[in-house]
Amino acid sequence: MDHHDLVRVSKRISLALRHRPDRFGLVLDRAGWVPVTDLLAALGIGRAELDAVVAGNDKQRFVVVRGADDVDRIRASQGHSVPVELGLAPAVPPDRLYHGTSERVLPAIRADGLHRGRRHHVHLSPDVATARRVGARRGGAVVVLTVDAAAMAGAGHLFFRSDNGVWLTDTVPPRYLTA
């Protein structure tokens, strides 16, 4: 599988597991899991293609586990716009986290902070390089915001860490952000 094919299949898997399982005839369980065989049939791909996408995804967007029933299951690590309960426990974040975004939305973020939009949480990166890559997806000039996660946690904001290391929280008020 070349890079273009990996990206194309990864986007289809993301759509199926994060946003539109109904479009593919899939039913996610409460925690977002679906049998691998169901996903393969719904997308018309083989196990080797799926394994290549899971292994080759730089952000480790997907997790595959074998259940007690010997059935392999897959879910997206985070980023769902459909109702799921990932079962993540609150975690103490590092003092600083980062959020990459486009310069064109900076005035709105400075005024209102970061909000989850259609997703379950705001996504924050543990390092500047990752935040810069995330921000670059939006096009235009990239701005990396620093989040004072220690102060937020001290004020009672909850943080969660997904399976792939992305930090999640409900909102980031503007007073905790610096550009």
Whole-number pLDDT of residue 77: 83
CATH class, 3-76 region:
mainly alpha
Mean pLDDT throughout 40-65? 89
Check residues 160 and 69 and name the one with the higher pLDDT.
160
DSSP string, 69-98: TS-EEEEESS--SS-----PPB-PPPSEEE
Q: Enumerate the domain spans of the chain.
A: 3-76, 96-178
Beta bridge partners of 73: 35, 65
Per-residue pLDDT at 112 exceeds 80:
yes
Per-residue pLDDT at 140 exceeds 70:
yes
| pLDDT tens readout for residues 71-107 | 899 999 877 888 888 888 999 999 999 999 999 999 9
Task: Return the minimum-mean-pLDDT range out of 31-35, 125-129, 164-168.
Answer: 164-168
| pLDDT tens readout for residues 14-42 | 999 999 999 999 999 999 999 999 999 99
Distance, in Å, from the CA atom of 153 to the CA atom of 173, rounded to the nearest integer, reads 12
**96-178 topology per CATH:** ADP-ribosylation fold (3.20.170)
In three-state secondary structure terms, 165 is coil
Q: How far apart are the first and last CA of the chain?
A: 39
Whole-number pLDDT of residue 119: 75
Per-residue pLDDT at 118 exceeds 80:
no
Q: How confident is the model at residue 58 (pLDDT cuts 50, 70, 90)?
A: low
| pLDDT tens readout for residues 7-16 | 899 999 999 9
Per-residue pLDDT at 153 exceeds 80:
yes
